[in-house]
Amino acid sequence: MNGGIAYRGPENCFYAVSNDSDGIARLHRMTMSGEDTVLFVLAVGVVHGLTYVQGSDTFYALVTLDNFTWFYSIKLNGVVTRLFGAGLRVFGGLCHSPSEDLFYFAANQTDGFSRLWTLALNGSVVDRMGLGYRFNHAGISMSPWFGGSMNIKSPLEGERFVSGEKTPLDANILNTTGPSWNSDGITWESNRDGPLGTGSPTATLSPGTHVITASKERLKRSVNVRVFADLWALYRAAPAQAEIDRVLGDFAFEWVDGAAGDPTRQWASYPGYPFDQTSANPSRTAVICKLDALRHQRFLQPLPFGTAESAYEHVRLNTHTVRVSLGDAVNMAGGGVINLNRTFALWSNNPSQPTVVTPYVHSLYLFNHESRHNEPGDPLHASCATAWTGAPGIPNGMDAQFDPGSGYARAALYLMWVYKYGRYDPASIRTEAKDVAVSLKDRFCAHPTSTNPLVRALLTELWNAT
């Protein structure tokens, strides 16, 4: 088998050419089990190179006859076509560059000096560069990323992270037909923190703006990443468009108008995704930023409900649609849909204090409350004359018990975890969460208890429920 070899991926086998003693070149098929089958005659002459192009399911070969080399195409149905001349003294291999759709081979000058040439299917034959002497019968292979481009999948351009949060690094190399190679061997580096690893590592970045660069051989691509001191600082920074798009892709959003005839209750009055936390107007961006903060939020102890890494991912398990209304309808959920009223779309309930933590905490505990109603086994709300504390009960506004509880129990658990175990939440957020958690103790008919010792400790600490 001295005429070249090529791999055909669709059937996981090799094809090779034998230049036989009778002066005829033949195509062989060789399986991984060692089976060798002669398929058909290619041509009279000597084959110096064979390559396969998957896009057209075609083999190509260089065949020399009477000192002149011709370029051939070969189909597995036996159709062999002489395309055009490649030149004199062609001795060195053949390979295909998918990103350029060019064929590379080596040919000698009269003095034996070898040069690298390219062939194009339109008949163009171009001298590219000198190689040196003694390249006779040299094999040529194409680096799979030659002519390709780097695509960084993570992090996103402009993405925000919290100091201490794990930043996944992932990229692939593209050719003209799309993704083709994964991140094996790609090197990552930060202009602030230095080398970050190779392949698909996970990095923990220092606070500040980073330029993250992925590189492999001559390919290189960079993205900007912002890292904040805590979750509150992240919430107050404008999200990148890619972050907005990611949340919009995680849920189906329905932007519901309020009363007809009132422009302040129509989403058309608030177009796009502006970021202005001093504005008293409803904003789609306010909704996105609150949910994205929930996506980043992590805890020092596993959440006391579900098995997801974050409350955001837990919500996604059973909720597919978020409807945000500019009316005053009651917040509610069911059937995989969460309905939220105008308040969730506001940066603050008090425009004179646009950066206070209240809307952040209150919106997220409300979202967790409503998500409970989309989960299997939710006992729903109940009515009782008095709460376990002796406070008056609220008709259909109570949880019969804490464990298993309904929406109020879920909201309380979330708030307790933010207060006690919030990893990235600053003290102001944790204090607000504690205060709201304390206020929910009157929402339960029966004396609250739990099988989780960490929850029992918090029930004792915050509600004196021993």
Q: 134 falls in which pLDDT band (50, 70, 90)?
A: low
Please, what is the Cα angle at 437 between 432 and 438, to 5 degrees? 100
Residue 351 has pLDDT above 60, yes or no: no
Q: Which of 9-18, 104-113, 237-246 has the lowest mean pLDDT?
A: 104-113
Q: What is the pLDDT of residues 301-310, one digit of tens each?
A: 999 999 999 9
380 phi-psi bin (left φ>0, alpha ψ -120 to 50, beta other) = left
Find where tokens 């912002």 sit: 226
Q: 356 falls in which pLDDT band (50, 70, 90)?
A: low
Which span out of 43-52, 69-78, 108-117, 236-245 was modeled with the highest average pLDDT?
A: 236-245
For all residues of the chain together, what is the average pLDDT? 89
CATH 2.120.10.30 residue ranges in the chain? 5-133
Q: Which residues of 80-115 are buried (b: 16+ CB within 10 A; e: fewer)?
A: beeeeebbebbbbbbbbbbbbbbbbbbbbeeeeebb
Cβ pair 212, 222 in contact under 8 A: yes
Residue 118 has pLDDT above 60, yes or no: yes
pLDDT at 67: 79
Beta-ladder partners of 113: 133
323 phi-psi bin (left φ>0, alpha ψ -120 to 50, beta other) = beta
Print the SS3 string covering the chain: CCCCEEEEHHHCEEEEEEECCCCEEEEEEECCCCCEEEEEEEEECEEEEEEEECCCCEEEEEEEECCEEEEEEECCCCCEEEEEEEEECEEEEEEEECCCCEEEEEEECCCCEEEEEEECCCCCEEEEEEEEECCCCCCCCCCCCCCCEEEEEECCCCEEEECCCEEECEEEEEECCEEEECCCCCEEEECCCEEEEECCCEEECCCEEEEEEEEECCEEEEEEEEEECCHHHHHCCCCCHHHHHHHHHHCEEEEECCCCCCHHHCHHHCCCCCCCCCCCCCCHHHHHHHHHHHHHCCECCCCCCCCCCCHHHHHHCCCCEEEEECCCCCCEEECCEEEECHHHHCCCCCCCCCCCCHHHHHHHHHHHHHHHCCCCCCCCCECCCECCCCCECCCCCEECCCCCCCHHHHHHHHHHHHHHHECCCCHHHHHHHHHHHHHHHHHECCCCCCCCHHHHHHHHHHHCCC
Interval 385-410 mean pLDDT: 97
Interval 363-382 mean pLDDT: 96
For residue 264, what are its two tokens?
């302040």
Which span out of 48-52, 122-126, 435-439 was modeled with the highest average pLDDT?
A: 435-439
Q: How far apart (Å, rounded) are the C-alpha atoms in residues 297 and 234?
A: 11
For residue 108, what are its two tokens?
């000698």
pLDDT at 389: 97
Task: Select from 225, 214, 195 the least CA-distant residue to 152.
Answer: 214
What burial class does residue 453 get, using C-beta atoms within 10 Å of its C-beta: 0-12 exposed, 13-18 middle, 19+ buried?
exposed
Q: 135 falls in which pLDDT band (50, 70, 90)?
A: low
For residue 453, what are its two tokens?
């010792």
Q: How far apart (Å, rounded) are the C-alpha atoms in residues 431 and 427?
A: 6
For residue 131, what are its two tokens?
């190689």
pLDDT at 147: 57
Q: How far apart (Å, rounded) are the C-alpha atoms in residues 342 and 256?
A: 10
CATH 2.60.40.10 residue ranges in the chain? 149-229
Beta-ladder partners of 127: 117
Cβ pair 72, 83 in contact under 8 A: yes
Q: 352 falls in which pLDDT band (50, 70, 90)?
A: low
Radius of gyration in angstroms for the set of CA atoms belonging to the chain, rounded to a whole number: 33
Interval 351-372 mean pLDDT: 80
How many CB atoms sit inside 10 A of residue 401's CB?
18
Q: How far apart (Å, rounded) are the C-alpha atoms in residues 342 and 363?
A: 11
For residue 278, what are its two tokens?
């001093």
Higher pLDDT, 218 or 66: 66
pLDDT at 212: 98
Task: Select from 435, 462, 463, 442 the least CA-distant residue to 391.
Answer: 442
Higher pLDDT, 410 or 355: 410
Class of domain 149-229: mainly beta
Residue 355 has pLDDT above 70, yes or no: no
Cβ pair 225, 167 in contact under 8 A: yes
Residue 361 has pLDDT above 80, yes or no: yes
Task: Select from 384, 361, 346, 377 the least CA-distant residue to 437.
Answer: 361
CATH architecture for residues 5-133: 6 Propeller (2.120)
Q: How far apart (Å, rounded) are the C-alpha atoms in residues 462 and 417?
A: 12
Q: Which of 78-87, 135-144, 262-271 has the lowest mean pLDDT?
A: 135-144
Q: What is the pLDDT of residues 411-432, one digit of tens each?
A: 999 999 999 999 999 999 999 9
Cβ pair 226, 288 in contact under 8 A: no
Q: What is the pLDDT of residues 195-205, one digit of tens each?
A: 999 999 999 99
pLDDT at 65: 81
